[in-house]
Amino acid sequence: MYRSHYSLIKKPFQLSTDPKFLWLGEKHKEALATLKYGVIDQKGFLLVSGDVGTGKTTLINALLESIEEDTLVANITDPALDLIEFFNFVALSFNIPEKFDSKIDFIVYFSQFLKKVYSENRSVLLIIDEVHSLSKEVLEHIRLLSNIELPEEKLINIFFVGQNEIHQTLALPECRALRQRISLVYQIEPLSENETLAYIKHRLKVAGTEKNIFTQNAVQEIYHFSKGYPRLINIICDHALLTGYARNFKKITPDVIQECAQQFNSIGETRNNHSISYEQHHPECQTHSVTCPFLKDIAEEGGTSENTGARVFILPQTESTRKHINSKEEPQNNIADGSKVSIVKRLRKRKFSWTPVVSFATRMQKRLFSWASAAMPFITRMQKRLFDWASAAVSYATRIQKRLFFWVSTVLLPTLLRKKQFFWMSAVSLAVMILVITGLYQKALTSKNNPPKPTALALKTTAPSPDKPDGYLTANNVQIKVAKTTSDHPIKAPSPPKTETSKPNVLEQAETALHNKNFNRAVELFEQVIAQNPTHASTIKMDYSKALRGQADSVFIKNPDTSKILLSKAVEVDPQNAEAHFDLGRLYTKSKDYPKAIKAYQNAANLNYRPSDTFYNLGFIYASTKDFANAEKMFLHVVDLKPPYLDKVLFNLAVVQQKQGKEQQCIENLEKTMLINPKNQRAQQYLNQLKKYKGVS
């Protein structure tokens, strides 16, 4: 209806999930990355939650678009079924032709199905949308599906997607077992105001225009109405475009948004929700450990415990996984004429009040000016005393000078002249004394005629912060500084003498920054030193490389690509930086660039850096690439080093030996594992299976 009016080729704010309109904010990108990571690393259970309209379904559609063909996916969008209906729905989604009348039949058939898919080097992903509508019985039986696994691999990934109410269900005691199975948790939060603006611009651009149809103030009103929920943004924007078309507006103003918001308010639209913090009820999920994709016990770093499994790295925990807002629905308020107050006005009433902050800042400002006024007389008195002292010192030096000249001329000189043998000695002594006295006199005159430049106390108010209202003065933006005096500031005070060595040079600043672990600043300063004098590159290469490695470590998880670049530069600057080689191996292993990972770990091994962990990780890589012979060599080398996690090394050694058909050696190493750690259940299960297969008691 309004497309031609705004020069659009399609409606930009339809509620249908058209992939062309997909826009992901920072929070949605993090959530999508978490989902992809769960698929790649076979994480088992994963939970993504969020309020109504935060874009969960859009996120799932984006995930489905990016999944590779070797993954079988079933997306259950309406799980409000009883147990048997749910099992049949799952079977139908995986194109299983059978119909099941009991859960036993389903579990037996589904177990065979999963093992068959695994034998074809394919993976299985079950996505359950609207999981909050599932009963506790169905949730418990879904947990039991995860028990279908092999000793070295999970056979199915199960992703829960639903509203925040699922946290309340999982907090119940009867869901404790399921709660502990969930290894990754992510909650999607609404968009920020800046993201709301970017979201609107993106949808308008896809619809055929780059014009700013919505004014800046209108976007603010949209955000106040929607609170950043994409679904509400679409609803209010579509309604505003229709209203603008009806009134022949080319621009959507705040008045139009307020009017549309009031219309929605009249039908009882509410955007408040109830949510309970997931970590509040089960803090064991606050740290998301990610286990190794091969055999679980082959870790990328040695020394892990049996209970937690071998850990590769820690998934970064965002603010959205730690903060959930507990809010209550606000009742409708009526004004005198009986009409209902608009949602925009009600939300404005709930804004944070700056009055206490301004009051506190005003009081602090008055106190600071009072302190400055009281300090000025003291500084003036000290200034006068200092100049009086300087004048007295000059006067005293003058009197001493006169007395010295009198003593030399009347006493010393005649005595020396009477003693001819001391004549020349006396002459030399007199000359030296005259030179010394003359120098002292000239210095005193210089101090008198050129007093030190004074300083004065001045108040400085910094510019207001962009996130605070203009014109508000807070305690944080009032600072005291020492400023040079001009003709308008007659107050003077001597300043301390300046020395050439008071300010450290660039190299010293770089070393200090490195010592304080301010790696970004250290790298910047070292590069400045090299730019000024390239010959210094060879002398500072160790410190420069260490700073680059520290800078890479700070972005190791959040930005691994940047970390790779920094670590590569670190080993280029100093090939002896073993830590950088080791960290490069870790990054290349995570990105599955195994040839580069092997080279990096070999460099670390040549430098004898953490040999147990280095050879252990090499064994992991060779095992992942099915080079079991080299993997066996690496694990045997680690066994000789006898690290604290020797039982895990022996278990992994047994696995790669079994892959090569060395069953007797495999059994022997498993038995050694049990001698070292009798609580290693995985080794015990594996040993029992092998003995049962060979018929050994």
Predicted confidence band at 290 (pLDDT cuts at 50, 70, 90)?
A: very low
Q: Considering only 73-77, 539-543, 581-585, which range has the smallest mean pLDDT?
A: 73-77
Helix or strand or coil: residue 126?
strand
Q: Which of 94, 85, 152, 174 is nearest to 126 (CA)?
A: 94
Which residues does 520 contact at the CB level (< 8 Å), separation at least 6?
Answer: 551, 554
Q: Which long-range contacts (CB under 8 A, 24 or more apart) does 218-222 make?
A: 218/252, 218/253, 218/254, 218/256, 218/257, 219/193, 220/193, 220/254, 221/254, 221/257, 221/258, 221/261, 221/344, 222/196, 222/257
Q: Which of 246, 244, 239, 241 is nearest to 261 (CA)?
A: 239
Count, residues in the chain: 697
pLDDT at residue 293 in the model: 36
Q: Which residue, chain included where needed, has tokens 């700013």? A: 212
**How far is it, in rounded angstroms, from Cα 468 to Cα 462?**
13
pLDDT at residue 423 in the model: 59
340-387 pLDDT, tens digit per residue, is 444 445 444 444 555 666 667 777 877 777 777 777 777 877 877 887
Predicted confidence band at 132 (pLDDT cuts at 50, 70, 90)?
A: confident
> What percentage of the chain exceeds 90 in pLDDT?
21
Q: Is the CATH number of domain 30-190+274-321 3.40.50.300?
A: yes
Across all residues in the chain, what is the average pLDDT? Answer: 75
pLDDT at residue 67 in the model: 78
How many beta carbons lie within 10 A of that of residue 54, not counting itself? 25
Q: Could you tell me the two tokens for 273?
A: 């929700």
Residue 418 has pLDDT above 70, yes or no: no
Domain ranges of the chain: 30-190+274-321, 193-270, 355-484, 506-694
Q: Which of 146, 144, 121, 124 is nearest to 44 (CA)?
A: 146
**How far is it, in rounded angstroms, from Cα 124 to Cα 366?**
68
Residue 298 has pLDDT above 50, yes or no: no
Helix or strand or coil: residue 1?
coil
Question: 455-461 and 478-484: which strand pairing?
Answer: antiparallel
pLDDT at residue 222 in the model: 94
225 φ, ψ (degrees, to nearest 5): -75, -50
Residue 431 has pLDDT above 60, yes or no: yes
Q: Could you tell me the two tokens for 219?
A: 């976007």
Query: Quick one: fold of 506-694?
Result: 1.25.40
pLDDT at residue 498 in the model: 46
Select, from the ranges 132-136, 143-147, 544-548, 693-697, the one with the highest average predicted confidence (pLDDT). Answer: 544-548
How many beta carbons lie within 10 A of that of residue 80, not counting itself? 12
Write the DSSP assignment of 575-638 as a string of letters: TT-HHHHHHHHHHHHHTT-HHHHHHHHHHHHHTT-SHHHHHHHHHHHHHHTT-HHHHHHHHHHH
Q: Could you tell me the two tokens for 351?
A: 């804004």
Residue 586 has pLDDT above 70, yes or no: yes
**How far is it, in rounded angstroms, from Cα 338 to Cα 532?**
76
493-513 pLDDT, tens digit per residue, is 445 554 444 457 888 898 899
Please measure the distance between the N-terminal and C-terminal CA atoms of the chain and give it in whole angstroms: 80
Helix or strand or coil: residue 393?
helix
Q: Could you tell me the two tokens for 139?
A: 């949730």
Query: Within its chain, how far is the Cα of 285 from the centroid?
Result: 18
pLDDT at residue 314 in the model: 31
pLDDT at residue 443 in the model: 62
pLDDT at residue 461 in the model: 38
Which residues does 320 contact at the CB level (< 8 Å), separation at least 6?
Answer: 27, 30, 186, 187, 188, 189
Helix or strand or coil: residue 190?
coil
Question: 123-128 and 157-162: which strand pairing?
Answer: parallel
Query: Quick one: fold of 193-270?
Result: Helicase, Ruva Protein; domain 3 (1.10.8)
Q: What is the 3-class SS of 4-71, one letter each residue? A: CCCCCCCCCCCCCCCHHHCCCCHHHHHHHHHHHHHHHCCCCEEEEEECCCCCHHHHHHHHHHHCCCCE
Which residues does 621 contact at the CB level (< 8 Å), separation at least 6?
Answer: 589, 594, 597, 598, 601
Positive or negative, the CA dihedral 89, 90, 94, 100 is negative
Q: Which residue, chain included where needed, has tokens 């400055």? A: 372
